[in-house]
Structure 1
Amino acid sequence: MHSRSWRRQLANPSKAKGTAWETAWTAYLREIHNPSAHRNVQMGAKDIGDVSGFYLHAAELKAEKTIRLPEYIAQANREAIHADQPFGVAVVKRVRAHVSAAYHVRDAATDVRLVNRLRDAEGLLQRHAPADVWKAHYEKHGKGR
């Protein structure tokens, strides 16, 4: 590591913590959801979220000592608009826990839109797919898994 980048990391441990969290969650996302998920380059006022590749979402990742949910949700929703995604989500690191225990946080309006979309998609699948396809889908994703 170059001495300048090493000094920068020491000068801003919060940024290093955030970067480590984004890297860990992206690796987890690649493993279980989308192999092409990646961290985004920050774009200032037109930021599109910290990580791309979480289906239909702009993901804003947070690893902070003091949790400020209203700010995180507002930021995720703004970034979803910039990223042309229907949903924003704040992914909040849980202290001393595995990445899979992170909190995914949305406001109620976003969550209802997401659940309505899932309900409608489920109905379409049930009506238009062969019965064995729907049953396999239900068994793979249903019953609290």
Structure 2
Amino acid sequence: MIPSANPSKAKGTAWESTWTKYVQEHHNPAAHRNVQMGRLDIGDVAGYYLHAAELKAEKTITLSDYIAQANREAVNAGAPFGCAVVKRRMKGVADGYVVRDVATDVRLMNRMRDMEDALRAAAPAAYSLIDKQHREAA
């Protein structure tokens, strides 16, 4: 393999590929890396349900910049939520961080609450089964 002329870019690409594979295995088999689109970028990875995901693997973490970028890209992608997925140094993909601002997180929690309430009312047995599965996974 030929070494990259830009080691930082290679590190970022490796993180995007590793995280995408993890999401494919544990969340959505159709997840994939997006083509970069400049100022109209739609996030680094598509297929993380309801989110534009902006991935970062940097030595110095600047959450405010990451969140601002993720939120812009969510608008561009037509996704309701943006998130930054930050690599944790010296750790595997499952130990990384998914970060949202508080306003985005509250909107997500409100949506989840409303959807759970609707499912519980419409299909109590299905709700109980899904709730049990997710509690056991924790």
Q: Quick one: which of 55, 61, 84 aligns to 2:55?
A: 61
**Residue correspondence of structure 1 range 29-108 to structure 2 within 5 A:** 29-108=23-102
Q: Look at both structures and tell me which one has the larger radius of gyration over its CA atoms.
A: 1
> What number of residue pairs does the alignment pair up?
138
Secondary structure at the counterpart of residue 142 of structure 1: helix
Task: Compute the displacement of 1:96 (Å).
Answer: 1.2
Amino acid of the structure 1 residue aligned with 2:42: I
Partners in 1 of 2:134 and 2:119 — Cα distance? 13
Task: Compute the displacement of 1:143 (Å).
Answer: 6.5
Partners in 2 of 1:139 and 1:44 — Cα distance? 43
Runs of 4+ deviating beyond 6 Å: none
Question: Which of 134-143 and 89-98 deviates more?
Answer: 134-143
Secondary structure at the counterpart of residue 78 of structure 1: helix
Structure 2 unaligned blocks of 5 or more: none
Amino acid of the structure 2 residue aligned with 1:80: A
Query: CA offsets per residue over residues 37-80 of structure 1, 9 Å max, x none?
Result: 00000000100000000000000000000000000000000000
Task: Compute the displacement of 1:142 (Å).
Answer: 2.9
Query: CA offsets per residue over residues 91-124 of structure 1, 9 Å max, x none?
Result: 0000111101110000000000000000000000
Q: Quick one: which of 123, 135, 138 aligns to 2:128?
A: 135
Q: What TM-score, normalized to structure 1?
A: 0.92
Q: What TM-score, normalized to structure 2?
A: 0.96
Structure 1 unaligned blocks of 5 or more: none
Q: CA RMSD in A?
A: 1.2
